[in-house]
Amino acid sequence: MRFGLLDRFFSDMEEAWHAGLTDLAAAGLDARTASEVRRAQQEIDPDGEMERLERAGVTVLAAGHAPYPSRLGEIDDAPPLLYARGEWRAEDEWSVAVVGTRGATAYGRQATAEFARGLAATGVTVVSGLARGVDTIAHRTALDSGGRTVAALANGLDTVYPPENRHLADEIAERGALLTDYPLGTKPRADFFPRRNRILSGVSLGTLVVEGDYQSGAMITAKFATEQNRELFAVPGSIFSPQSRGPLSLIRDGATPVASANDILEALNLTQLGAQMDFGRAAPPESPDERALMRVLTRDPQHIDLVARMSGLAPSVASGTLALLELKGLVRDLGGMQFVRVREESPEYSVTDTHGTPR
């Protein structure tokens, strides 16, 4: 809210940072907040902070500017800044949050793995909170399935909590992203986790609650999902298990009960994505034009004009060939003439460069 006042009043955040009390008040800040900003101006060295972030391998994503998650920017309490290790990509907009208790039952562990595997296999990014239990299983299964996964944290990115997930966090940063709205040096605190949960649901198309009691963190995430007008799913469980109380109460209140990843894909209208992924495995690029395009396409969005120029194809040929690759499930049109690779090709169909090295 206060960041928005500054964003609307000043031409940019650099101007806001150097503003005096009079201008801060004119922007709409109350006297106490304006004084806090002035004190921060004396204590914080922006250039020094950017150097610290760079040394830690952390980037800053600003609301309203790519690659900040566009869906997160729609919520009422969107963080003005996100700190990221790894990379939030355009394809991560197709994501589902998988959350649940730290003390998962055998049934909950199995269900989490089944759902995460099914979502990851169809190109859906699995989002969770890096906590013990359901979160850890969701991240690990997504990675082991060759998919992408994103973790939202309740601390600065120079800290990993729980500490036993440090290696997992490094893997997520390499093949997905770690996100937080807390600056470097912030240690995890109990009251930080509920606010972290709004990011889990906020970046996602929908939230799946696997297990959790009435007062669990998963139920807080479910509440945020409802407030953010996101789809809410729950795994039915035993009426005798305390860990099923949360999901059963959500189902009673209108959440969609699900028994497989396909149920989620259908509810989110993502079954076409799954079909494309499956078809893509059986239909590799065949013609020289298709292979030329696959050499230059990446998981990052590229405009069709750039793709055509880099591939050496005429724009009309590139356009028609991209349509064929999309039918094969190898390419996705993100709109605005922007295209990405949906998935990596299997080794037997991989494209090689002029030296014969797989790309």
Ramachandran assignment for 312, one of left (phi > 0), alpha (psi -120 to 50 degrees), beta (any other): left
Query: Which element (helix H / strand E) includes 249?
Result: helix 245-252
Q: Which two tokens stand for residue 23?
A: 């201008």
Q: What is the distance between the alpha carbons of residues 248 and 68, in angstroms, rounded to a whole number?
A: 34
| Cα 89-307-63 angle, rounded to 5 deg | 30
Decide the pairing of beta strands 81-86 and 59-62: antiparallel
pLDDT, tens digit, for every residue of 235-280?
999 999 999 999 999 999 999 999 999 999 999 988 755 544 443 3
Long-range contacts for 104-107 (Cβ within 8 Å, ≥24 apart)? 104/133, 104/134, 104/137, 104/210, 104/211, 104/243, 105/211, 105/241, 105/243, 107/211, 107/237, 107/238, 107/241
Residue of 246 and 55 predicted with greater confidence? 246
Spatial contact of 268 and 206, defined as CB atoms under 8 Å apart: yes
| CATH 3.40.50.450 placement within the chain | 86-269
With bands split at pLDDT 50, 70 and 90, how would you rate the model's confidence at 345?
Answer: very low
| Cα 17-7-56 angle, rounded to 5 deg | 60
Class (C level, CATH) for 283-349? mainly alpha
Measuring CA to CA, how many Å separate 39 from each of 10, 81, 277?
A: 19, 20, 53
Other C-beta atoms lying within 10 Å of the C-beta of residue 350: 13
Residue of 322 and 358 predicted with greater confidence? 322
Q: What is the distance between the alpha carbons of residues 124 and 3, in angstroms, rounded to a whole number?
A: 32
Residue 281 φ then ψ, to 5°: -70, -30
Q: Is the pLDDT of residue 104 over 50?
A: yes
Q: Which of 27-36, 146-155, 191-200 shows the lowest mean pLDDT across its residues?
A: 27-36
Please tell us whether the domain made up of 86-269 is placed in CATH 3.50.50.60. Answer: no
pLDDT, tens digit, for every residue of 125-142?
999 999 999 999 999 999
> Which residues are registered as beta bridge partners of 208?
98, 233
Give the three-state DSSP class for 300.
coil
